[in-house]
Structure 1
Protein backbone atom coordinates (compact mmCIF):
# COMPACT_ATOMS: atom_id res chain seq x y z
CA UNK A 1 0.00 0.00 0.00
CA UNK A 2 2.84 2.38 0.87
CA UNK A 3 4.45 1.78 -2.54
CA UNK A 4 1.39 2.79 -4.53
CA UNK A 5 1.93 6.57 -4.32
CA UNK A 6 5.53 6.11 -5.54
CA UNK A 7 4.33 3.94 -8.42
CA UNK A 8 1.75 6.55 -9.39
CA UNK A 9 4.35 9.32 -9.30
CA UNK A 10 6.76 7.24 -11.39
CA UNK A 11 4.08 6.47 -13.97
CA UNK A 12 3.02 10.13 -14.08
CA UNK A 13 6.65 11.19 -14.57
CA UNK A 14 7.13 8.71 -17.42
CA UNK A 15 3.90 9.99 -18.98
CA UNK A 16 5.19 13.59 -18.84
CA UNK A 17 8.53 12.60 -20.37
CA UNK A 18 6.82 10.76 -23.25
CA UNK A 19 4.36 13.62 -23.86
CA UNK A 20 6.99 16.36 -23.96
CA UNK A 21 9.39 14.17 -25.95
CA UNK A 22 6.63 13.75 -28.54
CA UNK A 23 6.20 17.51 -28.90
CA UNK A 24 9.04 18.15 -31.43
CA UNK A 25 8.00 15.04 -33.39
CA UNK A 26 4.39 16.24 -33.54
CA UNK A 27 5.54 19.70 -34.63
CA UNK A 28 7.71 18.19 -37.37
CA UNK A 29 4.76 16.20 -38.70
CA UNK A 30 2.35 19.13 -38.39
CA UNK A 31 4.66 21.41 -40.38
CA UNK A 32 4.22 19.11 -43.37
CA UNK A 33 0.77 20.64 -43.94
CA UNK A 34 0.49 23.69 -41.67
CA UNK A 35 2.28 27.01 -41.61
CA UNK A 36 4.05 27.62 -38.26
CA UNK A 37 1.49 30.17 -37.05
CA UNK A 38 -1.45 28.01 -38.11
CA UNK A 39 0.06 24.97 -36.39
CA UNK A 40 0.50 26.87 -33.12
CA UNK A 41 -3.10 28.13 -33.25
CA UNK A 42 -4.59 24.73 -34.13
CA UNK A 43 -2.58 23.05 -31.36
CA UNK A 44 -3.77 25.47 -28.71
CA UNK A 45 -7.35 25.65 -29.90
CA UNK A 46 -7.43 21.91 -29.19
CA UNK A 47 -5.64 22.40 -25.85
CA UNK A 48 -8.00 25.26 -24.90
CA UNK A 49 -11.12 23.19 -25.56
CA UNK A 50 -9.68 20.27 -23.60
CA UNK A 51 -8.70 22.48 -20.65
CA UNK A 52 -12.15 24.11 -20.72
CA UNK A 53 -13.60 20.66 -20.10
CA UNK A 54 -11.18 20.09 -17.22
CA UNK A 55 -11.94 23.54 -15.77
CA UNK A 56 -15.69 22.98 -15.91
CA UNK A 57 -15.35 19.67 -14.04
CA UNK A 58 -12.95 20.99 -11.41
CA UNK A 59 -14.67 24.40 -11.21
CA UNK A 60 -11.63 26.68 -11.26
CA UNK A 61 -12.00 30.21 -9.95
CA UNK A 62 -12.54 33.25 -12.14
CA UNK A 63 -9.59 35.65 -12.49
CA UNK A 64 -9.68 39.07 -10.94
CA UNK A 65 -9.92 41.96 -13.39
CA UNK A 66 -6.54 43.34 -12.27
CA UNK A 67 -4.90 39.97 -13.08
CA UNK A 68 -5.91 40.00 -16.75
CA UNK A 69 -2.83 41.94 -17.98
CA UNK A 70 -0.56 39.48 -16.15
CA UNK A 71 -2.37 36.48 -17.63
CA UNK A 72 -2.04 38.02 -21.10
CA UNK A 73 1.72 38.45 -20.61
CA UNK A 74 2.04 34.88 -19.32
CA UNK A 75 0.10 33.63 -22.34
CA UNK A 76 2.32 35.63 -24.68
CA UNK A 77 5.58 34.17 -23.36
CA UNK A 78 4.41 30.61 -22.58
CA UNK A 79 2.19 30.03 -25.62
CA UNK A 80 2.35 32.67 -28.36
CA UNK A 81 6.02 33.67 -28.60
CA UNK A 82 7.35 30.32 -27.36
CA UNK A 83 5.47 28.19 -29.88
CA UNK A 84 5.73 30.55 -32.83
CA UNK A 85 9.51 30.64 -32.38
CA UNK A 86 9.56 26.87 -31.84
CA UNK A 87 7.53 26.13 -34.97
CA UNK A 88 9.48 28.47 -37.23
CA UNK A 89 12.73 27.13 -35.81
CA UNK A 90 11.81 23.51 -36.42
CA UNK A 91 11.44 24.15 -40.13
CA UNK A 92 15.24 23.90 -40.29
CA UNK A 93 16.12 21.94 -37.13
CA UNK A 94 15.64 18.22 -36.55
CA UNK A 95 13.19 17.11 -33.87
CA UNK A 96 15.97 15.63 -31.72
CA UNK A 97 18.12 18.75 -31.86
CA UNK A 98 15.08 20.93 -31.11
CA UNK A 99 14.38 18.95 -27.94
CA UNK A 100 17.96 19.56 -26.76
CA UNK A 101 17.87 23.29 -27.48
CA UNK A 102 14.50 23.61 -25.73
CA UNK A 103 16.09 22.01 -22.66
CA UNK A 104 18.43 25.01 -22.36
CA UNK A 105 15.75 26.99 -20.50
CA UNK A 106 17.59 26.83 -17.12
CA UNK A 107 20.61 28.54 -18.71
CA UNK A 108 18.48 31.55 -19.63
CA UNK A 109 16.72 31.43 -16.26
CA UNK A 110 20.10 31.85 -14.58
CA UNK A 111 20.99 34.80 -16.82
CA UNK A 112 17.61 36.41 -16.11
CA UNK A 113 18.15 35.90 -12.39
CA UNK A 114 21.43 37.80 -12.61
CA UNK A 115 20.67 40.59 -15.08
CA UNK A 116 16.97 41.20 -14.35
CA UNK A 117 16.30 39.98 -10.81
CA UNK A 118 19.78 41.07 -9.62
CA UNK A 119 20.42 37.72 -7.91
CA UNK A 120 23.99 36.67 -7.32
CA UNK A 121 25.33 34.08 -9.77
CA UNK A 122 28.45 32.32 -8.53
CA UNK A 123 31.47 31.13 -10.48
CA UNK A 124 30.22 27.55 -10.77
CA UNK A 125 26.98 28.72 -12.32
CA UNK A 126 28.81 30.95 -14.83
CA UNK A 127 30.87 27.93 -15.87
CA UNK A 128 27.70 25.85 -16.33
CA UNK A 129 25.93 28.58 -18.30
CA UNK A 130 28.95 29.20 -20.55
CA UNK A 131 29.43 25.49 -21.19
CA UNK A 132 25.71 25.05 -21.85
CA UNK A 133 25.65 27.85 -24.42
CA UNK A 134 28.71 26.35 -26.12
CA UNK A 135 26.91 23.00 -26.18
CA UNK A 136 23.84 24.65 -27.72
CA UNK A 137 26.07 26.22 -30.40
CA UNK A 138 27.55 22.78 -31.13
CA UNK A 139 24.02 21.37 -31.56
CA UNK A 140 23.00 24.22 -33.89
CA UNK A 141 26.15 23.88 -36.02
CA UNK A 142 26.19 20.09 -36.00
CA UNK A 143 22.53 19.52 -36.83
CA UNK A 144 22.74 20.54 -40.49
CA UNK A 145 26.48 20.99 -40.89
CA UNK A 146 28.60 24.14 -41.10
CA UNK A 147 27.57 24.94 -44.65
CA UNK A 148 23.86 24.53 -43.89
CA UNK A 149 23.77 26.53 -40.67
CA UNK A 150 20.98 29.16 -40.48
CA UNK A 151 18.98 31.06 -37.91
CA UNK A 152 16.47 28.29 -37.17
CA UNK A 153 18.42 27.00 -34.19
CA UNK A 154 18.53 30.51 -32.76
CA UNK A 155 14.72 30.61 -32.93
CA UNK A 156 14.57 27.47 -30.77
CA UNK A 157 16.82 29.25 -28.26
CA UNK A 158 14.46 32.26 -28.43
CA UNK A 159 11.65 29.85 -27.52
CA UNK A 160 13.69 28.66 -24.52
CA UNK A 161 14.29 32.27 -23.47
CA UNK A 162 10.57 33.00 -23.81
CA UNK A 163 9.78 30.05 -21.54
CA UNK A 164 12.32 31.31 -19.00
CA UNK A 165 10.57 34.68 -18.91
CA UNK A 166 7.22 32.95 -18.43
CA UNK A 167 8.57 30.79 -15.62
CA UNK A 168 10.09 33.78 -13.80
CA UNK A 169 6.82 35.73 -13.99
CA UNK A 170 4.67 32.73 -13.09
CA UNK A 171 6.86 31.91 -10.09
CA UNK A 172 6.72 35.51 -8.85
CA UNK A 173 2.92 35.68 -9.11
CA UNK A 174 2.04 32.06 -8.28
CA UNK A 175 0.37 33.13 -5.03
CA UNK A 176 -2.50 34.75 -6.94
CA UNK A 177 -4.05 31.49 -8.16
CA UNK A 178 -3.53 27.74 -7.82
CA UNK A 179 -1.43 25.96 -10.44
CA UNK A 180 -4.30 24.57 -12.53
CA UNK A 181 -6.03 27.95 -12.70
CA UNK A 182 -2.82 29.65 -13.85
CA UNK A 183 -2.24 26.99 -16.51
CA UNK A 184 -5.80 27.26 -17.84
CA UNK A 185 -5.80 31.04 -18.14
CA UNK A 186 -2.27 31.08 -19.55
CA UNK A 187 -3.31 28.65 -22.31
CA UNK A 188 -6.52 30.53 -23.05
CA UNK A 189 -4.90 33.97 -23.15
CA UNK A 190 -2.03 32.69 -25.31
CA UNK A 191 -4.51 31.06 -27.68
CA UNK A 192 -6.45 34.32 -27.94
CA UNK A 193 -3.24 36.11 -28.99
CA UNK A 194 -2.64 33.43 -31.66
CA UNK A 195 -6.00 34.19 -33.29
CA UNK A 196 -4.17 36.62 -35.60
CA UNK A 197 -3.23 33.46 -37.53
CA UNK A 198 -6.87 32.36 -37.94
CA UNK A 199 -7.22 33.39 -41.63
CA UNK A 200 -6.47 30.35 -43.78
CA UNK A 201 -6.39 27.88 -40.89
CA UNK A 202 -9.58 26.02 -41.87
CA UNK A 203 -8.37 25.67 -45.45
CA UNK A 204 -5.10 24.12 -44.30
CA UNK A 205 -6.92 21.77 -41.93
CA UNK A 206 -9.11 20.56 -44.79
CA UNK A 207 -6.14 19.91 -47.08
CA UNK A 208 -4.00 18.22 -44.40
CA UNK A 209 -3.88 14.44 -44.42
CA UNK A 210 -5.58 12.39 -41.73
CA UNK A 211 -2.21 11.35 -40.29
CA UNK A 212 -1.06 14.97 -40.00
CA UNK A 213 -4.30 16.09 -38.35
CA UNK A 214 -4.09 13.14 -35.95
CA UNK A 215 -0.51 14.17 -35.03
CA UNK A 216 -1.72 17.74 -34.37
CA UNK A 217 -4.65 16.46 -32.30
CA UNK A 218 -2.23 14.45 -30.16
CA UNK A 219 -0.02 17.54 -29.93
CA UNK A 220 -2.90 19.61 -28.58
CA UNK A 221 -4.13 17.07 -26.04
CA UNK A 222 -1.01 15.38 -24.66
CA UNK A 223 2.02 17.78 -24.53
CA UNK A 224 -0.17 20.90 -24.31
CA UNK A 225 -2.77 19.78 -21.77
CA UNK A 226 -2.54 16.36 -20.11
CA UNK A 227 1.21 16.61 -19.49
CA UNK A 228 0.70 19.78 -17.44
CA UNK A 229 -1.90 18.06 -15.27
CA UNK A 230 0.38 15.05 -14.77
CA UNK A 231 3.34 17.31 -13.98
CA UNK A 232 1.31 19.18 -11.37
CA UNK A 233 0.54 15.82 -9.75
CA UNK A 234 4.23 14.85 -9.77
CA UNK A 235 5.31 18.13 -8.16
CA UNK A 236 2.61 17.81 -5.51
CA UNK A 237 3.57 14.26 -4.51
CA UNK A 238 7.36 14.08 -4.86
CA UNK A 239 10.61 15.90 -4.23
CA UNK A 240 10.71 18.82 -6.68
CA UNK A 241 14.47 18.66 -7.38
CA UNK A 242 14.38 14.93 -8.08
CA UNK A 243 11.32 15.36 -10.30
CA UNK A 244 13.03 18.13 -12.29
CA UNK A 245 16.13 16.03 -12.87
CA UNK A 246 13.96 13.34 -14.47
CA UNK A 247 13.05 15.82 -17.22
CA UNK A 248 16.59 15.58 -18.60
CA UNK A 249 15.49 12.24 -20.03
CA UNK A 250 13.33 14.14 -22.51
CA UNK A 251 16.00 14.91 -25.18
CA UNK A 252 17.32 11.31 -25.44
CA UNK A 253 13.71 10.06 -25.43
CA UNK A 254 12.81 12.54 -28.18
CA UNK A 255 15.82 11.43 -30.22
CA UNK A 256 14.80 7.79 -29.87
CA UNK A 257 11.21 8.58 -30.83
CA UNK A 258 12.39 10.69 -33.79
CA UNK A 259 14.58 7.83 -35.00
CA UNK A 260 11.59 5.47 -34.96
CA UNK A 261 8.87 7.82 -36.25
CA UNK A 262 10.82 10.19 -38.53
CA UNK A 263 13.89 8.04 -39.29
CA UNK A 264 16.14 10.84 -37.97
CA UNK A 265 19.74 10.04 -37.13
CA UNK A 266 21.50 12.67 -34.98
CA UNK A 267 25.01 13.58 -36.08
CA UNK A 268 27.98 13.01 -33.79
CA UNK A 269 28.23 16.78 -33.18
CA UNK A 270 24.59 16.90 -32.06
CA UNK A 271 25.23 14.04 -29.65
CA UNK A 272 28.32 15.79 -28.26
CA UNK A 273 26.40 19.06 -27.92
CA UNK A 274 23.54 17.20 -26.22
CA UNK A 275 25.86 15.78 -23.58
CA UNK A 276 27.40 19.22 -22.94
CA UNK A 277 24.01 20.95 -22.61
CA UNK A 278 22.51 18.30 -20.32
CA UNK A 279 25.58 18.11 -18.06
CA UNK A 280 25.65 21.92 -17.82
CA UNK A 281 21.97 22.19 -16.95
CA UNK A 282 22.26 19.32 -14.49
CA UNK A 283 25.26 21.07 -12.91
CA UNK A 284 23.13 24.14 -12.24
CA UNK A 285 20.68 22.05 -10.23
CA UNK A 286 23.42 20.45 -8.17
CA UNK A 287 24.71 23.85 -7.00
CA UNK A 288 21.86 25.49 -5.02
CA UNK A 289 21.76 29.26 -5.03
CA UNK A 290 19.35 32.15 -5.24
CA UNK A 291 19.26 31.98 -9.03
CA UNK A 292 15.88 31.17 -10.46
CA UNK A 293 16.30 27.80 -12.13
CA UNK A 294 13.50 26.44 -14.27
CA UNK A 295 12.46 22.81 -14.29
CA UNK A 296 9.59 23.06 -16.74
CA UNK A 297 9.35 22.72 -20.50
Structure 2
Protein backbone atom coordinates (compact mmCIF):
# COMPACT_ATOMS: atom_id res chain seq x y z
CA UNK A 1 0.00 0.00 0.00
CA UNK A 2 2.79 2.57 -0.44
CA UNK A 3 6.24 3.58 -1.63
CA UNK A 4 6.31 5.94 -4.64
CA UNK A 5 7.77 9.42 -4.21
CA UNK A 6 5.91 12.06 -6.25
CA UNK A 7 5.55 15.82 -6.35
CA UNK A 8 2.67 15.82 -3.91
CA UNK A 9 3.88 16.52 -0.38
CA UNK A 10 0.90 16.07 1.85
CA UNK A 11 -2.77 15.13 1.91
CA UNK A 12 -5.29 17.97 1.51
CA UNK A 13 -8.42 18.11 3.65
CA UNK A 14 -10.74 16.33 1.21
CA UNK A 15 -8.14 13.64 0.57
CA UNK A 16 -7.84 13.02 4.32
CA UNK A 17 -11.59 12.46 4.55
CA UNK A 18 -11.49 10.15 1.52
CA UNK A 19 -8.55 8.17 2.92
CA UNK A 20 -10.25 7.83 6.31
CA UNK A 21 -13.43 6.48 4.69
CA UNK A 22 -11.31 3.99 2.76
CA UNK A 23 -9.58 2.73 5.92
CA UNK A 24 -12.86 2.14 7.78
CA UNK A 25 -14.56 0.43 4.84
CA UNK A 26 -11.55 -1.77 4.05
CA UNK A 27 -11.36 -2.81 7.70
CA UNK A 28 -15.02 -3.84 7.58
CA UNK A 29 -14.29 -5.88 4.44
CA UNK A 30 -12.06 -8.29 6.36
CA UNK A 31 -14.94 -9.06 8.71
CA UNK A 32 -17.50 -9.46 5.91
CA UNK A 33 -15.15 -11.73 3.94
CA UNK A 34 -14.51 -13.91 6.98
CA UNK A 35 -18.25 -14.53 7.35
CA UNK A 36 -19.03 -14.88 3.62
CA UNK A 37 -16.31 -17.50 3.00
CA UNK A 38 -18.37 -19.93 5.08
CA UNK A 39 -20.77 -20.20 2.12
CA UNK A 40 -18.89 -18.85 -0.93
CA UNK A 41 -15.72 -20.24 -2.50
CA UNK A 42 -12.87 -17.68 -2.79
CA UNK A 43 -13.23 -17.16 -6.55
CA UNK A 44 -17.03 -17.01 -6.47
CA UNK A 45 -17.01 -14.40 -3.68
CA UNK A 46 -14.47 -12.29 -5.58
CA UNK A 47 -16.54 -12.44 -8.78
CA UNK A 48 -19.80 -11.60 -7.01
CA UNK A 49 -18.15 -8.69 -5.22
CA UNK A 50 -16.60 -7.36 -8.43
CA UNK A 51 -19.78 -7.68 -10.50
CA UNK A 52 -21.75 -5.82 -7.82
CA UNK A 53 -19.12 -3.12 -7.63
CA UNK A 54 -18.87 -2.82 -11.41
CA UNK A 55 -22.63 -2.30 -11.81
CA UNK A 56 -22.65 0.44 -9.18
CA UNK A 57 -19.55 2.15 -10.59
CA UNK A 58 -20.81 2.01 -14.19
CA UNK A 59 -24.10 3.60 -13.14
CA UNK A 60 -22.20 6.43 -11.44
CA UNK A 61 -19.86 6.81 -14.41
CA UNK A 62 -22.81 7.11 -16.81
CA UNK A 63 -24.54 9.59 -14.51
CA UNK A 64 -21.41 11.77 -14.44
CA UNK A 65 -20.84 11.24 -18.19
CA UNK A 66 -17.13 10.69 -17.79
CA UNK A 67 -16.78 8.20 -20.65
CA UNK A 68 -13.78 5.99 -21.43
CA UNK A 69 -10.32 6.69 -19.98
CA UNK A 70 -7.58 7.98 -22.33
CA UNK A 71 -5.41 5.36 -24.00
CA UNK A 72 -2.41 6.28 -21.84
CA UNK A 73 -4.27 5.21 -18.69
CA UNK A 74 -5.16 1.70 -19.87
CA UNK A 75 -1.88 -0.13 -19.10
CA UNK A 76 -2.12 0.90 -15.44
CA UNK A 77 -5.86 0.17 -15.32
CA UNK A 78 -5.46 -3.33 -16.76
CA UNK A 79 -2.51 -4.18 -14.52
CA UNK A 80 -4.20 -2.93 -11.35
CA UNK A 81 -7.46 -4.61 -12.38
CA UNK A 82 -5.87 -8.03 -12.77
CA UNK A 83 -3.55 -7.78 -9.76
CA UNK A 84 -5.48 -5.73 -7.19
CA UNK A 85 -9.12 -6.29 -8.08
CA UNK A 86 -8.65 -9.87 -9.29
CA UNK A 87 -5.71 -11.75 -7.75
CA UNK A 88 -5.75 -9.81 -4.47
CA UNK A 89 -9.42 -10.52 -3.77
CA UNK A 90 -9.22 -14.22 -4.62
CA UNK A 91 -6.06 -14.71 -2.53
CA UNK A 92 -7.47 -12.75 0.41
CA UNK A 93 -10.76 -14.67 0.35
CA UNK A 94 -8.89 -17.96 0.27
CA UNK A 95 -6.53 -16.90 3.04
CA UNK A 96 -9.37 -15.68 5.27
CA UNK A 97 -11.10 -19.03 4.95
CA UNK A 98 -8.19 -20.40 7.01
CA UNK A 99 -7.09 -17.60 9.37
CA UNK A 100 -9.08 -15.09 11.43
CA UNK A 101 -9.89 -11.63 10.10
CA UNK A 102 -7.50 -9.73 12.39
CA UNK A 103 -4.55 -11.96 11.55
CA UNK A 104 -5.27 -11.65 7.82
CA UNK A 105 -5.35 -7.85 8.09
CA UNK A 106 -1.99 -7.76 9.87
CA UNK A 107 -0.31 -9.94 7.24
CA UNK A 108 -1.84 -8.04 4.31
CA UNK A 109 -0.58 -4.77 5.79
CA UNK A 110 2.92 -5.77 4.68
CA UNK A 111 1.82 -4.10 1.43
CA UNK A 112 3.70 -0.82 2.13
CA UNK A 113 6.99 -2.74 2.24
CA UNK A 114 6.14 -4.36 -1.09
CA UNK A 115 5.53 -0.99 -2.70
CA UNK A 116 8.73 0.46 -1.27
CA UNK A 117 10.64 -2.49 -2.74
CA UNK A 118 9.00 -2.05 -6.15
CA UNK A 119 9.79 1.67 -6.04
CA UNK A 120 13.44 0.87 -5.46
CA UNK A 121 13.47 -1.42 -8.48
CA UNK A 122 11.13 0.25 -10.97
CA UNK A 123 11.72 3.87 -9.98
CA UNK A 124 15.46 3.43 -9.33
CA UNK A 125 15.16 4.60 -5.71
CA UNK A 126 17.54 1.92 -4.49
CA UNK A 127 17.29 -0.60 -1.66
CA UNK A 128 18.19 1.08 1.63
CA UNK A 129 19.28 -1.18 4.49
CA UNK A 130 16.22 -0.21 6.54
CA UNK A 131 13.93 -1.43 3.76
CA UNK A 132 15.67 -4.80 3.61
CA UNK A 133 15.66 -5.08 7.42
CA UNK A 134 11.95 -4.22 7.51
CA UNK A 135 11.18 -6.90 4.93
CA UNK A 136 13.04 -9.50 7.00
CA UNK A 137 11.14 -8.54 10.16
CA UNK A 138 7.79 -8.62 8.37
CA UNK A 139 8.49 -12.00 6.80
CA UNK A 140 9.39 -13.34 10.24
CA UNK A 141 6.03 -12.05 11.43
CA UNK A 142 4.24 -13.95 8.65
CA UNK A 143 6.01 -17.16 9.70
CA UNK A 144 5.03 -16.63 13.35
CA UNK A 145 1.41 -15.95 12.42
CA UNK A 146 1.31 -19.07 10.26
CA UNK A 147 2.58 -21.37 12.99
CA UNK A 148 0.45 -19.66 15.66
CA UNK A 149 -2.72 -20.46 13.71
CA UNK A 150 -1.72 -23.83 12.27
CA UNK A 151 -3.24 -26.01 15.04
CA UNK A 152 -0.91 -28.84 14.11
CA UNK A 153 -1.74 -28.77 10.38
CA UNK A 154 -0.44 -26.92 7.36
CA UNK A 155 -3.79 -25.33 6.48
CA UNK A 156 -3.34 -22.06 8.36
CA UNK A 157 0.29 -21.76 7.32
CA UNK A 158 -1.10 -21.87 3.79
CA UNK A 159 -3.69 -19.26 4.80
CA UNK A 160 -0.96 -16.92 6.02
CA UNK A 161 1.00 -17.40 2.81
CA UNK A 162 -2.15 -16.65 0.78
CA UNK A 163 -2.56 -13.41 2.74
CA UNK A 164 1.08 -12.65 1.92
CA UNK A 165 0.30 -13.26 -1.76
CA UNK A 166 -2.62 -10.83 -1.40
CA UNK A 167 -0.21 -8.24 0.03
CA UNK A 168 2.13 -8.72 -2.93
CA UNK A 169 -0.75 -8.34 -5.41
CA UNK A 170 -1.95 -5.27 -3.52
CA UNK A 171 1.48 -3.64 -3.63
CA UNK A 172 1.90 -4.30 -7.35
CA UNK A 173 -1.62 -3.00 -7.97
CA UNK A 174 -0.97 0.33 -6.26
CA UNK A 175 2.29 0.83 -8.15
CA UNK A 176 0.40 0.12 -11.39
CA UNK A 177 -2.54 2.36 -10.52
CA UNK A 178 -0.63 5.50 -9.60
CA UNK A 179 0.57 6.33 -13.19
CA UNK A 180 -2.95 5.74 -14.56
CA UNK A 181 -4.29 8.49 -12.30
CA UNK A 182 -2.14 11.01 -14.18
CA UNK A 183 -4.27 10.44 -17.27
CA UNK A 184 -7.75 9.49 -16.04
CA UNK A 185 -10.11 10.45 -13.22
CA UNK A 186 -10.28 8.37 -10.00
CA UNK A 187 -13.76 7.18 -10.96
CA UNK A 188 -12.62 6.06 -14.42
CA UNK A 189 -9.58 4.22 -13.04
CA UNK A 190 -11.65 2.49 -10.35
CA UNK A 191 -14.58 1.59 -12.62
CA UNK A 192 -12.56 0.02 -15.40
CA UNK A 193 -10.10 -1.59 -12.99
CA UNK A 194 -13.07 -3.25 -11.29
CA UNK A 195 -14.41 -4.37 -14.68
CA UNK A 196 -11.04 -5.86 -15.65
CA UNK A 197 -10.94 -7.72 -12.32
CA UNK A 198 -14.46 -9.06 -12.92
CA UNK A 199 -13.49 -10.31 -16.38
CA UNK A 200 -10.39 -11.99 -14.92
CA UNK A 201 -12.62 -13.81 -12.41
CA UNK A 202 -15.19 -15.03 -14.98
CA UNK A 203 -13.84 -18.62 -14.78
CA UNK A 204 -15.50 -18.74 -11.34
CA UNK A 205 -18.97 -18.03 -12.79
CA UNK A 206 -20.19 -21.61 -12.35
CA UNK A 207 -19.12 -21.65 -8.70
CA UNK A 208 -20.86 -18.34 -8.07
CA UNK A 209 -24.16 -19.58 -9.51
CA UNK A 210 -23.91 -22.78 -7.46
CA UNK A 211 -23.00 -20.95 -4.24
CA UNK A 212 -25.78 -18.38 -4.66
CA UNK A 213 -28.31 -21.21 -4.77
CA UNK A 214 -27.16 -22.55 -1.38
CA UNK A 215 -25.93 -19.48 0.53
CA UNK A 216 -28.10 -17.94 3.29
CA UNK A 217 -29.36 -14.38 2.98
CA UNK A 218 -26.74 -13.04 5.41
CA UNK A 219 -23.85 -14.29 3.27
CA UNK A 220 -25.42 -12.90 0.10
CA UNK A 221 -25.88 -9.57 1.89
CA UNK A 222 -22.18 -9.61 2.86
CA UNK A 223 -21.20 -10.24 -0.77
CA UNK A 224 -23.36 -7.31 -1.94
CA UNK A 225 -22.00 -5.12 0.86
CA UNK A 226 -18.43 -5.96 -0.21
CA UNK A 227 -19.22 -4.92 -3.78
CA UNK A 228 -21.00 -1.67 -2.96
CA UNK A 229 -18.97 -0.26 -0.09
CA UNK A 230 -15.42 -1.69 0.37
CA UNK A 231 -15.13 -1.99 -3.45
CA UNK A 232 -17.19 0.63 -5.34
CA UNK A 233 -17.04 3.37 -2.70
CA UNK A 234 -13.75 2.66 -0.89
CA UNK A 235 -11.65 2.05 -4.00
CA UNK A 236 -12.99 5.30 -5.48
CA UNK A 237 -12.17 7.31 -2.35
CA UNK A 238 -8.75 5.63 -2.32
CA UNK A 239 -8.07 6.64 -5.94
CA UNK A 240 -9.30 10.16 -5.22
CA UNK A 241 -6.82 10.51 -2.34
CA UNK A 242 -4.00 8.70 -4.20
CA UNK A 243 -4.31 11.16 -7.09
CA UNK A 244 -3.60 13.97 -4.62
CA UNK A 245 -0.59 12.57 -2.77
CA UNK A 246 2.19 10.00 -3.03
CA UNK A 247 1.56 6.29 -2.76
CA UNK A 248 3.93 6.24 0.21
CA UNK A 249 1.86 8.71 2.20
CA UNK A 250 -1.37 6.91 1.30
CA UNK A 251 0.12 3.65 2.49
CA UNK A 252 0.73 5.15 5.91
CA UNK A 253 -3.01 5.77 6.31
CA UNK A 254 -3.70 2.02 6.10
CA UNK A 255 -1.66 1.17 9.20
CA UNK A 256 -4.83 1.61 11.29
CA UNK A 257 -6.66 -1.14 9.39
CA UNK A 258 -5.45 -4.16 11.45
CA UNK A 259 -6.41 -2.56 14.77
CA UNK A 260 -9.87 -1.71 13.45
CA UNK A 261 -10.29 -5.23 12.07
CA UNK A 262 -9.41 -6.86 15.40
CA UNK A 263 -12.04 -4.73 17.17
CA UNK A 264 -14.69 -5.31 14.46
CA UNK A 265 -14.03 -9.07 14.33
CA UNK A 266 -14.27 -9.28 18.12
CA UNK A 267 -17.63 -7.47 18.15
CA UNK A 268 -19.18 -9.06 15.03
CA UNK A 269 -17.64 -12.54 14.95
CA UNK A 270 -16.32 -13.13 18.46
CA UNK A 271 -12.82 -13.65 17.00
CA UNK A 272 -9.74 -12.67 18.95
CA UNK A 273 -6.33 -13.72 17.56
CA UNK A 274 -4.13 -15.75 19.90
CA UNK A 275 -1.34 -13.93 21.71
CA UNK A 276 1.25 -15.59 19.49
CA UNK A 277 -0.67 -14.60 16.34
CA UNK A 278 -0.98 -11.03 17.65
CA UNK A 279 2.76 -11.05 18.29
CA UNK A 280 3.38 -12.15 14.71
CA UNK A 281 1.06 -9.44 13.45
CA UNK A 282 2.91 -6.84 15.48
CA UNK A 283 6.15 -8.10 13.90
CA UNK A 284 4.58 -7.59 10.46
CA UNK A 285 3.69 -4.00 11.30
CA UNK A 286 7.05 -3.42 13.00
CA UNK A 287 8.75 -4.45 9.77
CA UNK A 288 6.65 -1.89 7.90
CA UNK A 289 7.61 0.77 10.46
CA UNK A 290 11.33 -0.07 10.18
CA UNK A 291 11.22 0.08 6.39
CA UNK A 292 9.47 3.47 6.43
CA UNK A 293 11.86 5.16 8.88
CA UNK A 294 13.94 7.93 7.33
Normalised by the length of structure 1, the TM-score is 0.84
CA RMSD, Structure 1 to Structure 2 (Å): 2.7
Q: What's 1:286 paired with?
A: 293
Looking at structure 1, the residues matched to 80 and 248 of structure 2 have their Cα atoms a distance apart, in angstroms, of 24
Q: What pairs up with 1:1-297 in 2 under 5 angstroms?
A: 12-64=18-70, 68=74, 70-115=76-121, 117-145=123-151, 147-148=153-154, 149-234=156-241, 244-287=251-294
The 8 Å contact of residues 245 and 282 in structure 1, kept in 2 or not, is answered as: no
Q: What's 2:5 paired with?
A: none
Q: What's 2:8 paired with?
A: none
Looking at structure 2, the residues matched to 39 and 232 of structure 1 have their Cα atoms a distance apart, in angstroms, of 23
Give, in angstroms, the shift of residue 284 of structure 1. Answer: 2.9
The 8 Å contact of residues 25 and 254 in structure 1, kept in 2 or not, is answered as: yes
What does the per-residue CA deviation read over 1:220-262, in whole Å, with 9 as the maximum and x for residues that have no partner?
1111111123334555778986654332111011011111111
Give, in angstroms, the shift of residue 17 of structure 1. Answer: 2.2
Looking at structure 2, the residues matched to 79 and 239 of structure 1 have their Cα atoms a distance apart, in angstroms, of 20
* Unaligned segments of structure 1, at least 5 residues: 1-5, 288-297
Looking at structure 2, the residues matched to 53 and 173 of structure 1 have their Cα atoms a distance apart, in angstroms, of 21
Give, in angstroms, the shift of residue 147 of structure 1. Answer: 4.5
Query: Judging changes above 3 Å, is the alpha-carbon distance between structure 1 residues 186 and 284 closer, same or farther for their aligned structure 2 residues?
Result: same
Give, in angstroms, the shift of residue 74 of structure 1. Answer: 2.4
Give, in angstroms, the shift of residue 8 of structure 1. Answer: 6.6
Query: Judging changes above 3 Å, is the alpha-carbon distance between structure 1 residues 196 and 65 closer, same or farther for their aligned structure 2 residues?
Result: farther
* Unaligned segments of structure 2, at least 5 residues: 1-11
What does the per-residue CA deviation read over 1:75-127, in whole Å, with 9 as the maximum and x for residues that have no partner?
11111111111112222111111111111112222333345554311112221
Question: SS at 1:62's partner residue?
Answer: coil
Looking at structure 2, the residues matched to 201 and 236 of structure 1 have their Cα atoms a distance apart, in angstroms, of 34
Looking at structure 2, the residues matched to 269 and 118 of structure 1 have their Cα atoms a distance apart, in angstroms, of 37
Normalised by the length of structure 2, the TM-score is 0.85
Looking at structure 1, the residues matched to 242 and 196 of structure 2 have their Cα atoms a distance apart, in angstroms, of 24
Q: What's 1:290 paired with?
A: none
Query: Judging changes above 3 Å, is the alpha-carbon distance between structure 1 residues 22 and 268 closer, same or farther for their aligned structure 2 residues?
Result: same
Give, in angstroms, the shift of residue 64 of structure 1. Answer: 4.5
The 8 Å contact of residues 38 and 97 in structure 2, kept in 1 or not, is answered as: no
